[in-house]
Structure 1
Amino acid sequence: MQIPRNIYLDRLIRKKQNHLVKVVTGMRRCGKSYLLFELFKQHLLEEGVPEDHIIEMVFDAFENRQYCNPDVFFPYLMDRISADGEYYILLDEVQLLGEFEAVLNSLLRRKNVDIYVTGSNARFLSKDVITEFRGRGDEIHMYPLSFAEYMTAYDGSVSDAWKDFVVYGSLPMIFDFPIAEDKTVFLKALLDETYLSDIVGRHKIRNKAEFSELVNILSSAVGSLTNPAKLSSTFHSVKKKTISPATIQNYIDYLCDAFLIDKAIRYDVKGKRYIDTPSKYYFTDLGLRNARLNFRQIEETHAMENVIFNELKIRGWSVDVGVITQNFKNTNGNGARRQLEIDFVCNKGSKRCYIQSAFAMPDTEKEEQEQRSLLLTGDFFKKIIITKDTPAPHYNDNGVLIMNVFDFLLDAESLEK
């Protein structure tokens, strides 16, 4: 079964021969190797690139272990590259190659070589790519399947797909397990034995119990405002454990570096400034989050908010949590202030839109509540409320676009209309 990943394939195609190392990053098992060695290679062949001009290497394959030595791999490449035509080099898990920075920088000096690499290691974050390659790295960040991609492989209705999507997540391998019990076992093992054990080993975490407990707390608090100091207090009051805010911040950074969670920072819309703390955290894959909680606490309201956040990131938006200060008079007639929240402030170049996630909006009172912060922005950027019970997209009397979550997820242009 071939699942289209056109968003990422198109990005790779646009970046061809731009004289940069194209670095495909993303969490383990999200489909990076499939994108590079199946979809992108197929594109190259269809474009007429000779097969011997496509050089592939999977560094974590046992049979290729000798090529992890740069003194072996570099001569191997040079023997295969001539001055005739363009060569495409596809390297998987390149962080396993010794002195990979020097190897890739040397390859960049050859005018007829185009380089594409993948890496799940934290060294392959965009900020590290810039450091390692002195501005010559170009990141394509990949996510698990979007809902639209998921539907291309799902055999069933949209409503049934949604139920599975918010429970078992959207890692492509989930389709290898048609039975719910097998999905559960797969996700639990993958989280504990691959993701978390990799983080513990890589960062030499000594207190595994504290780290494990933090993952539990973050899993239970998807979309809630929090910070290391607050989490430290929770450990002290609830768990009767002392763990410093600095240590908690390190643990959160490790989870972000492994692409397990993503951070949304608060932004003062009228003051045009960021508020450093508290922040919100969302899981890159809901199946892994639910597995951590033994598939308890699956609240569809929070799950929908998490799905919307991920979809916005997939589409290339920068996403913050909006804060609006409202002045009003209290019951005593005195002036007072309160802060209202906009779920997502989304920016892409010169474009901006504001989005509220409202699972259900059964009446006018609820609609007024959801749109209040949107109308206080005082600007003319698009304002959107995404619900699960709106029959068709429409603008209300205040110019706010109200749409169903499926209209949003299944139409890549839904925010542009």
Structure 2
Amino acid sequence: MANVFEKTKRYNAWEGQTIQIGYERKQYLEKITGFLDTRLVKVLVGQRRSGKSYLLRQIMNYLITNKNVDPKNLFFLNKEFIAFDEIQEATDLDELFSFYRAQLQVEGKIYIFLDEVQNIEGWETFVNSYSQDFTQDYELFVSGSNSTLLSGELATLLSGRYVEFEILPFDYSEFLDVKELTLGKESFLEYLKTGGLPELFHLNSEELKRNYIASLKNTVILRDILDRHKIKDLPLLEELFKFLAVNIGNLTAISNIINYFKSKQKKTNYETVSSYVQYLTDAFIFHQADRFNLRGKQVLGGACKYYLNDLAFKNFLFGFLPTDVGYNLENYVYLQLKRLGYEVQVGVLNNLEIDFIAQKADRIIYIQVAYLLNNENVINREFGNLLQIKDNYEKYVVSLDDMKYSNYEGILHLHPWELINI
């Protein structure tokens, strides 16, 4: 264990090393640090390469610079690094942590940071044990790239003693800040094409970006899905990924997907397709938006909509066409509502569709999304659908028109960048 401990030193600040924190994501940092000094386990989940590791390091830096915590009281381990291949099970992790305490003679509260913790078998027992150990003061932060991280045993063990933060790629305002661009339609369209994965901002050519996204997709599919679930039909999973990516914003049912594959002479069944779709959403590549019946006040089964966690997967792997702007805009609005903490569903009212019903606590808003309000039919559809909702909750139409239109019977017209603070 002494050898692993020596490697661990490189990734901690015990000997005065500077912590590389990257671009500070202030909104997330503020939310997470608001739960400091509690025994709640802070759990960061999200797609690979969305910035979870940097956020953990930003929290560490915050503790050192703002809370005057001794760097020796911070223990960080990233299971993605080859240096920690020997840490296979919770007992290995416990042995390393005990070795660290003995070597550094740590006194007082210890902050434990475990990155990509799902790669350690039985990690749940370590987290549960140390988070509930009242003989010593510990505070734990863990991250993972699968939405099932807190399912099963850990959720039962902790039973409300954790708080979860879903980390999404950079939003438009962060994109502007990093790229030093001005807010407006031109920069927004660039963001809509580029997406918000942090590492993309440092790649200078389309080819490099495309190769990076292809590599990331393969990592998610091969490591996070194929290895974890022992996938038997990799070509089917690849085709399903493409199908969902090019059909974002369209109503999609499992039966529709099966029929599509049958038309391509690809045999499959409901159970397989349903499982593969679930694996892709568990890995945070796609989000599922269920339909909600406004009249019956219930979630509808069957068809739903899928949105990409980052548009780069579609734009760089399958092309960005002028006809895609409307769908990409809808995808952006969905993600932005999630970033703001809303639960988002697709509305159904009689034969009409409301693009989004977003709810946060007691607040409900309805949103229609259109690329442009460029003819009477589009205007009547977008505003007319909202007018059919007979309640007093806020209603918005979001579009990329150059003009900003006046309120229409209480319905507000917004440009997409105005959703930053809605």
How far apart, in 1, do the equivalents of 2:199 and 2:154 lie? 28
Task: Give the C-alpha shift of residue 155 in structure 1.
Answer: 3.6
Matched, 1:169 2:169: no
Runs of 4+ in 1 over 6 A off after TM superposition: 80-83
| Paired residue secondary structure (1:290) | helix
How far apart, in 2, do the equivalents of 1:309 and 1:127 lie? 28
- Which amino acid in structure 2 is aligned with residue 340 of structure 1? L
1:95-106 to structure 2, matched below 5 A, reads 95-106=118-129
Matched with 1:43 is 62
Contact 1:352 1:382 in 2 (8 A): yes
Q: 1:393 to 1:129 in 2, by over 3 A?
A: farther
How far apart, in 2, do the equivalents of 1:296 and 1:372 lie? 29
Matched with 2:10 is none
How far apart, in 1, do the equivalents of 2:396 and 2:320 lie? 31
Contact 1:371 1:385 in 2 (8 A): yes
1:11-410 to structure 2, matched below 5 A, reads 11-37=31-57, 39-45=58-64, 46-68=66-88, 69-76=92-99, 78-79=101-102, 84-111=107-134, 112-125=137-150, 129-131=154-156, 133-158=158-183, 159-192=185-218, 194-198=219-223, 199-236=225-262, 238-295=263-320, 299-325=324-350, 339-363=351-375, 365-389=377-401, 391-392=403-404, 394-396=406-408, 398-408=409-419
Task: Give the C-alpha shift of residue 302 in structure 1.
Answer: 0.3
Task: Give the C-alpha shift of residue 354 in structure 1.
Answer: 0.2
Q: 1:60 to 1:190 in 2, by over 3 A?
A: closer
- Which amino acid in structure 1 is aligned with residue 206 of structure 2? A
| Paired residue secondary structure (1:395) | coil
Contact 2:128 2:157 in 1 (8 A): no
| Paired residue secondary structure (2:165) | strand
Q: 1:47 to 1:342 in 2, by over 3 A?
A: same
Contact 2:128 2:154 in 1 (8 A): no
- Which amino acid in structure 2 is aligned with residue 381 of structure 1? Y
Q: What is the CA RMSD across the aligned residues, in angstroms?
A: 2.3
How far apart, in 2, do the equivalents of 1:178 and 1:314 lie? 27
Task: Give the C-alpha shift of residue 203 in structure 1.
Answer: 1.4
| Paired residue secondary structure (2:85) | helix
- Which amino acid in structure 2 is aligned with residue 36 of structure 1? L
Question: Sequence identity of aligned pairs in percent?
Answer: 28
Contact 1:54 1:90 in 2 (8 A): yes
Task: Give the C-alpha shift of residue 129 in structure 1.
Answer: 4.8
Task: Give the C-alpha shift of residue 365 in structure 1.
Answer: 4.8
Contact 1:4 1:149 in 2 (8 A): no
- More moved, 26-35 vs 66-75: 66-75
- Which amino acid in structure 2 is aligned with residue 374 of structure 1? L
Contact 2:210 2:317 in 1 (8 A): no
Task: Give the C-alpha shift of residue 62 in structure 1.
Answer: 2.5
Task: Give the C-alpha shift of residue 18 in structure 1.
Answer: 2.5
Contact 1:395 1:402 in 2 (8 A): yes
Q: TM-score, normalised by structure 2?
A: 0.87
| Paired residue secondary structure (1:323) | strand
Contact 2:248 2:331 in 1 (8 A): yes
Q: 1:123 to 1:94 in 2, by over 3 A?
A: same
Number of residue pairs aligned between Structure 1 and Structure 2: 394
Unaligned runs of 5+ in 2: 1-20
Q: 1:210 to 1:60 in 2, by over 3 A?
A: closer
